[in-house]
Amino acid sequence: MKKFCAIFLMLLCSLSYIHASDKIPLEKAITDGIRLSYEFKNNLLNEQTAELQRQRSEKQKLFHVDFNANYLFRSETMVIDTPSFYIPGMGTLAGQQIEAGLKHNYDMKLSAVQPLFTGGILSNTVKTEELRKAVEANRSKLKQNEIAARIKTSFFNYLYLIRKKESLAALQKTLNLHQRKLKNLFGEGLVKKSDILETLSRYEELNLNIADIEQAIESERIHFINLCSYDPEEIDKSYTEKTGSREESLSYFKHYHPILKTLQNQIEMLTLKQKILAGKYLPQVNSFAELHYGKPGIDFFKKEWSFYFQGGITLNLPVFNWNRLKGDKKVLDIQIRKLDNQQKDIIKAASKNLEQLYAARESIKNKLSNIAQLIDYSREDAELKAGLYQEKQIPNIDLLTALSSAEKYPLMKQELLIQLEQVKVKINTLISLNKAKEEQ
């Protein structure tokens, strides 16, 4: 018999494990919710755009080939007059006019230009585009964090509403049993009808509350499905949010938060922009090669279509610009200082918010340690008042209040547990931490 019981318990545990394993982890719902978000998809498209811009900036270092064609009309052409002169024994040769060029001129050019020295403009432009891509990646991470927070918050709201409904249903069941006892006692003339009516009124009030909660549950269920395409009932309800200490969270915020990383990237971009500006006032050297096909071409006297090639090196060097570079650099210096101040202000605000959230977390933990005693007291009080009511020492309304309190405190405990999870979600959302980390 004992062996049979042991086998039955093992089978029951196995079935329970299989049933639990059918539940979907909340982490998967978050991953799928992020993947399905059109906002996040747009962020990924922005990353792709930034990558294309980076690739394009790299190609600016390579030579480029252009084709150019033009037509030019001149109303007058150059004419060379040769004077007449006498040749002994041959007579006098008359002078003549030789026309150089044409009124209708054509030229087609295929040219290749290779940058040789740009003062660091092209290399710093590539670095700028790499930073721009990093900024877009940070924005994608920020959107991931935002979506994860929405899904977690909705899930815990749903759990709280479910547990509130269960608590009210338990109280309703207690009142129903009490009402049946009163009905039997009333038939024996031991209680007043007003006691039955009070109990029925409380029962109907609970019906109204449960109806409101069911509506809220359905609304939250639809919201959760819209966020991640899963029904909250499919999700494993054992999930708990993990947080570290306040110091760990603040350190993580300073080193990894996408907003701070974006501001740092923007500072680096402005620094590179200063270098690009300085490069514009350095010599710009390019080599070029051109293949022409034109009429009249190089020989203005032939007046025919002809090919010719030319190549060389160009040098461009700004000489005087009223010290514009210095003024432009000062403007960028001011922008850099503003971004640095913004970083410090964000860290200061985050530190304050973390202080408040961790204080709220400790407060909830303290309440949870106290409420266990209240649950025991309320249950004992309900049992005592049930006995007092039977002895006709207290009115029915006092008993109903005691029964409500006996269910109120367990519900309050569930509410505090959910609030604790929501506070931890807010902490991890604030520091942009999505992956669970062991709480210390």
Is residue 297 a part of any domain in this protein? yes
% of residues, the chain, pLDDT over 70: 90
User: What is the pLDDT at residue 5?
Assistant: 47
Is 290 in contact with 110 (CB distance < 8 Å)?
Answer: yes
Is residue 400 a part of any domain in this protein? yes
- Angstrom distance (rounded) from CA 55 to CA 42: 20
User: What is the pLDDT at residue 107?
Assistant: 94
Is residue 39 a part of any domain in this protein? no
SS3 string, 370-397, reads: HHHHHHHHHHHHHHHHHHHHHCCCCCHH
User: What is the pLDDT at residue 155?
Assistant: 95
**What CATH number has the domain bearing residue 424?**
1.20.1600.10
User: What is the pLDDT at residue 409?
Assistant: 79
Low pLDDT (below 70) residues in the chain: 1-21, 86, 95, 178, 185-191, 389, 391, 396, 399, 435-440
User: What is the pLDDT at residue 20?
Assistant: 47
Is residue 413 a part of any domain in this protein? yes
Residue 100's DSSP bridge partners are 78
Query: Number of folded domains in the chain?
Result: 1
Q: In this predicted model, what pLDDT tens digit does every residue of 176-199 receive, in sequence order? A: 776 777 777 666 666 677 777 877
Is 375 in contact with 415 (CB distance < 8 Å)?
Answer: no
- Angstrom distance (rounded) from CA 370 to CA 184: 39
Is residue 99 a part of any domain in this protein? no
Q: Which domain holds residue 395?
A: 107-430
Is residue 37 a part of any domain in this protein? no
User: What is the pLDDT at residue 186?
Assistant: 67
Is residue 281 a part of any domain in this protein? yes
Is residue 215 a part of any domain in this protein? yes
